[in-house]
Amino acid sequence: MKISWIFWWISNVFWMILFVVGTVFVWSREVDGSGAVQTPETKLLLFLVLLLASLIPAIIQVIWLIINLVINNNKKANIQQ
């Protein structure tokens, strides 16, 4: 397996773990740092903010995936010639 694919998988696992930990943190706490009680509505709002923030790494990962696929297809085409 090519090294760029290994790094791609490692970074995917890292971002997924970070998202899951953030989600568990948002949904499990009863009071935030300022002392405000967390209602289901505020928890949902915070989850949506976390979701929007995680879109940036997800877009980067998709672009990286496309680049890896194009590079691998070009190498396979060169080997077959």
Give per-residue pLDDT as tens, 7-65. 989 999 999 999 999 999 989 988 888 888 989 999 999 999 999 999 999 999 999 99
Calpha distance 27→40 (Å, rounded)? 8
3-state SS class at 37: strand
3-state SS class at 36: coil
Give per-residue pLDDT as tens, 42-58. 999 999 999 999 999 99
> Six-digit token pair at 30?
């009863």
